[in-house]
């Protein structure tokens, strides 16, 4: 007997051409336009099955929203306790910057030390449900460690490709979880090309950023948590460090789902995308009024997780920024490091450069 999650997952939909695919298919991208797919839900059913005010009684992980996640058999949920991270009221930092209610979502408290745990929990759970045995991913930061950890938990083989100048700690973390790591001369985009070239012959399922539909489902739970933690209100502004952009896209998706279920109104936060000056394709496209972002050549930044010269979900990031009357901002590496130091001195939080 299947121990059901009561998921309302209904189908997959292309984010560009809106083509519909059955949820039973194991897909990476739209077969027509080769762009990202979203998991869609029967939200009319969900709003009657879930009482948002009863969520407080559920487990303190992102799987408290399991009806709005794409896994149907509870036995296929691969979890290390990710999600439900705290909102820290940064009073001293806020006072210094002129904000009375500055909140920080502390994603470092996830099992593998970053928000990447959310996406990998969802993606690898779906892969398990579909019978996948081997997964592969390009990474320049925390995604590799999260992939390796959740693959180990699921009993899957993980193949991880990272630029040769990726900090050695990321490689060690992956190998400690049993992953096969290969370093590549080039950027994360070059690593992605290798995964794409070899995935069919090697039998890998490619879980690159937005090249499968499920990592974004894990990331969207940040949006659900923000609303629930703020008594079903949303912040005025969300400032988000942006590489591949799955988090900002996921939260925007969550806000729409919650509105469709009647959990929140139509008010949205202004979405502020922050990138490093040395790798700012989204900022450049936003400033030029473009729908897509061209590849950022010779990308270089101390924040390795933000060194994503080309994002397949660029149009979705830009859409969320523009629809929210937000903006995109590039900052220097020096400013990033100063921000990290300021955060540590005022709030006792030791952050990576990406959070600076």
Q: What is the pLDDT of residue 1?
A: 60
Q: CA-CA distance, 205 to 225, in Å (whole number)?
A: 29
| DSSP three-state, residue 38 | strand
For domain 132-206, the CATH class is alpha beta
Please, what is the end-to-end C-alpha distance for the chain in angstroms?
Answer: 49
Alpha-helical regions (H) of 103-158: 116-129, 142-154
Which residues partner with 98 through β-bridges? none
Tens-digit pLDDT profile for residues 25-65: 999 999 999 999 999 999 999 999 999 999 999 999 999 99
Q: Computed from CA positions of residues 283, 288, 294, 298, in that sequence, does the dihedral angle turn out positive or negative?
A: negative
CB-CB contact of 78 with 153 (8 Å): yes
The pLDDT of residue 5? 85
Comparing C-alpha atoms, which of 355, 233, 245 is closest to residue 15?
245
Tokens of 205: 């399922």
Looking at the chain, the domain(s) classified CATH 3.40.50.1100 span 132-206, 214-349
Distance CA 215, CA 137 (A): 12
Q: State pLDDT tens for residues 68-112.
A: 999 999 999 999 999 999 999 999 999 999 999 999 999 999 999
Where do we find the tokens 């900090």? 167
Q: What is the pLDDT of residue 141?
A: 83
For the purposes of burial, counting CB atoms within 10 Å of the CB of 134, is it exposed (0-12), middle (13-18) or buried (19 or more)? Answer: middle
pTM: 0.96
Query: Which residues in the chain land under pLDDT 70?
Result: 1-2, 356
Pick the CATH number of 214-349 from 3.40.50.300, 3.90.340.10, 3.40.50.1100, 3.10.50.30: 3.40.50.1100
In sequence order, which residues have a C-beta less than 8 Å from that of residue 52 and are 6 or more positions away? 228, 232, 263
pLDDT of residue 3: 83
Buried b (16+ CB within 10 A) or exposed e, 194-218: bbbeebeeeebbbbbbbbbbbbbbb
313 half-sphere exposure, CB direction, 13 A CA radius: 30
């Amino acid at each position: 007997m299947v121990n059901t999650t009561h998921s309302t997952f209904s189908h997959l939909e292309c984010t560009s051409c809106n083509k519909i695919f059955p949820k039973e298919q194991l897909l990476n991208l739209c077969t027509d336009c080769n762009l990202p797919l979203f998991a869609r839900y029967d939200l009319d059913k969900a709003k009657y099955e879930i009482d948002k005010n009863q969520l407080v009684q559920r487990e303190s992980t992102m799987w408290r929203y399991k009806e709005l996640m794409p896994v149907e058999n509870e036995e296929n949920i691969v979890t290390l306790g990710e999600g439900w991270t705290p909102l820290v009221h940064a009073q001293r930092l806020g006072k210094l910057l002129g904000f009375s209610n500055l909140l920080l979502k502390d994603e470092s408290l996830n099992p593998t030390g970053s928000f990447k745990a959310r996406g990998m929990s969802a993606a690898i759970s779906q892969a398990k449900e579909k019978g996948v045995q081997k997964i592969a991913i390009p990474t320049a930061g925390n995604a590799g460690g999260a992939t390796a950890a959740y693959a180990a938990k699921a009993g899957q083989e993980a193949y991880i490709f990272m630029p040769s100048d990726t900090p050695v700690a990321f490689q060690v973390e992956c190998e400690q979880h049993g992953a096969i790591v290969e370093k590549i001369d080039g950027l994360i985009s070059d690593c992605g090309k290798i995964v794409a070239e070899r995935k069919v012959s090697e039998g890998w399922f490619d879980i690159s950023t937005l090249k499968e539909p499920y990592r974004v489902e894990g990331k969207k739970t940040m949006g659900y948590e923000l609303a629930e933690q703020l008594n079903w209100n949303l912040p005025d502004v969300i400032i988000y460090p942006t590489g591949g952009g799955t988090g900002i896209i996921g939260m925007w998706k969550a806000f729409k789902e919650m509105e469709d279920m009647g959990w929140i109104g139509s008010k949205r936060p202004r979405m502020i995308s922050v990138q490093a000056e040395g790798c700012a394709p989204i900022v450049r496209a936003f400033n030029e009024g473009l729908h897509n972002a061209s590849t950022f050549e010779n990308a270089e930044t101390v924040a390795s997780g933000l060194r994503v010269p080309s994002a397949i979900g660029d149009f979705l990031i830009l859409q969320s920024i523009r629809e929210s009357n937000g903006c995109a901002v590039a900052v220097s590496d020096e400013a990033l490091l100063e921000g990290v130091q300021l955060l540590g001195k005022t709030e006792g939080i030791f952050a990576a450069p990406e959070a600076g």
